[in-house]
Amino acid sequence: MRTSEHADRTEKLVGIRAEDIHKWIDGFFDFEGFEDFLKSENYTKYDPYDHRKFRHCAEALDEAYEFFKDKYSKEQIKAVFESHLKDDYNGYLPKREDFENGTFTVQYHDSEGSTAAEAILSETELSEYFKGKSYLHKKKGKDKLTKGFQLKILLPTIIGTVLFISSVILVIIPVLRTNMMDSKKEMIKELTASAISLIEKNASLERNGVLSREEAQKKAVTEIEAMRYGSENKDYFWITDMHPRMIMHPYRQDLKGQDLSDYKDKEDKSGKRLFVEFVNVVKAQKEGYVEYLWQWKDDQTRVVPKLSFVKGIPEWGWIIGTGVYINDVEEEISALTENILMIFSLISAFLIIMMTYLIFQSRKINNDLLKAETGLIEAKDRYKALVEASGEGQILEVEGVNIYSNFTLQKMLG
């Protein structure tokens, strides 16, 4: 179930939506688990979904009490918490050991249903269908049957092919691109939330007097600077302040401490002051997305379009962000398009072979019918000539009705 669906359920059951509790339950991190992760220094195998299971268990209820004690009563927290988990696990309230022994897998709330295409007619059924049609409809003239076949079968097939290709190019591919971009946007937003949880942990240490602000900020910067993700483990986070001034960028140490108010990427012909744009988005909306040109990961010689998510940290006056490269999405779309067109080309080749075979079959059937019709007409003409030439009177009656009589009989009867 999605967060909104969980909230709808608890609103009916308890009278509150408590979306913040639902989001907390499905959150990526708990501080202790994340601190263990940092100590391991195993960033290359980092998977943000690993920590969610620590809140999908009965043991996390006490933590929920502590986290939301200033906003909800214990009864409300317990009702929302247990409703959420039981909805995800078919009425069962998992314990942490259930995840460790493989009893359950974690619910991710993002699965989408999928459908598979089904064949409407098999090759045999298609062949029998057209063969039956060919025998059922008699056509006069040598090319009438073939022309009818072409109009009724080939023309719709060609039109259908053109419409399919058009729909792939004009509808399906743009929808896929939109869906992929939405998925990427959601991913970087969630990953930013994971980095923010780290900042909040260090800010908490400052508030509790364990660390000074300078020490807490330095510790947070060091830990976030080391974080990587992505297929090449080169995607990263950066931090600026609201001036804007660069606080941390793992691949652009030359910008550290620099005033970025007038910074423009030299490849960006629009003149966008991208770091000022980050500040404007955070001031207006607290968080948001910005599209711009930037270097490819750690390669400063390559500049490509990028979409980043930025979010403000009001307590420290920071902005943290991370992004995806738009050409990654385009490459995925291109690969998917090539696969679709390859499959469609194979289907088209098969259909062409089938149509060619059916055309030849229809011609053969047409010729057979014409021969049969011609033979019947010739036999009728021969019989009529014999009857007319006969010296005996002959008459053809059907159920007492005179159908035909020859000239000799008519002459005999006057």
For 206, the token pair is 């400052």
For 253, the token pair is 């140490």
* DSSP secondary structure string for all residues of 203-243: HHHHHTTSS-HHHHHHHHHHHHHT--BSTTS-B--EEEESS
Q: Is residue 258 part of a domain?
A: yes
Q: Is residue 316 part of a domain?
A: yes
Quote the pLDDT of residue 51: 54
Q: Is residue 268 part of a domain?
A: yes
Among 331, 346, 372, the domain boundary falls at: 331
Q: Are residues 321 and 212 in the same domain?
A: yes
Long-range contacts of residues 400-404, Cβ cutoff 8 Å, at least 24 apart: none
Contact 366, 139 (CB under 8 A): yes
User: For residues 70, 73, 74 and 79, what is the CA-based torsion angle, rounded to 10 degrees?
Assistant: -120
Contact 52, 98 (CB under 8 A): no
Q: Are residues 201 and 318 in the same domain?
A: yes
Q: Are residues 296 and 196 in the same domain?
A: yes
Q: Is residue 129 part of a domain?
A: no
Q: Are residues 95 and 189 in the same domain?
A: no
Q: Are residues 322 and 225 in the same domain?
A: yes
Overall domain count for the chain: 2
Contact 22, 6 (CB under 8 A): yes
Q: Is residue 356 part of a domain?
A: no
Q: Are residues 58 and 195 in the same domain?
A: no
CATH code (residue 245) = 3.30.450.20
For 77, the token pair is 């927290």
CA atoms of 58 and 108, how far apart (whole Å): 18
Q: Is residue 319 part of a domain?
A: yes
Quote the pLDDT of residue 338: 82
Q: Are residues 320 and 195 in the same domain?
A: yes
Q: Is residue 317 part of a domain?
A: yes
Q: Give the chain's end-to-end CA distance (angstroms, integer).
A: 99
Among 284, 316, 331, the domain boundary falls at: 331
Quote the pLDDT of residue 315: 93
Residues of the chain under the 70 pLDDT cut: 28-53, 102-154, 265-270, 378-391, 396, 398, 402-404, 406-407, 411, 414
Read off the pTM.
0.46
Q: Is residue 53 part of a domain?
A: yes
Among 311, 331, 351, the domain boundary falls at: 331
Quote the pLDDT of residue 327: 82
Q: Are residues 85 and 186 in the same domain?
A: no
Quote the pLDDT of residue 337: 80
Host domain of residue 205: 181-331
Q: Are residues 197 and 307 in the same domain?
A: yes
Q: Are residues 200 and 313 in the same domain?
A: yes
The three-point CA angle 294-313-24 to 5° equals: 105
